Homo-oligomer: A and B are copies of this chain.
Amino acid sequence: MLEAPPIALASSFRIVLEGCASSDLDSIKPLEHAARRACATAGLTPVGEARHHYAPHGWTLVLILKESHLAIHTWPEYGAAVVELLSCRPDTPIDALAEIFKSELNAAGARVSRDEINVKN
């Protein structure tokens, strides 16, 4: 007998941003702005939020979404940031979102990866 196809739970996306100005990564405003713009562009709906500033520097901003969650972590000391997005919408326009984060955080480069999360049927 043929096995039932797996159930797709979510798509997991990651954007690694490099070559950012440290000052852009140690302020919550550009992160918030980038996150809100990304959600609006992709039709993702924030329903909860948490944030934390690390000593001596660096931020984590997490938005819970109707479609799962988006987390941004920054490492000002390396000029780097990582965006992780879990979304139940496989058609999430991740390349457009990477461009938004790259531009809002003045990054030299953005690397995108994705992975599908499935469970047995």
Contact = CB atoms under 8 A, between A and B. Distances in A.
Interface residues of A, number: 31
Interface in A91-121: 117, 119-120
As for how many copies of this chain the complex holds, the number is 2
A16 B120 CA distance: 11
Interface stretch (A25-33, A36-44, A77-85): A77-85
Contact of A48 (B10, B52, B66, B86): B52
A69 B73 contact: yes
13 contacts: A7-B80, A9-B16, A9-B75, A9-B80, A16-B117, A48-B60, A48-B62, A50-B62, A52-B64, A60-B68, A68-B73, A71-B71, A73-B86
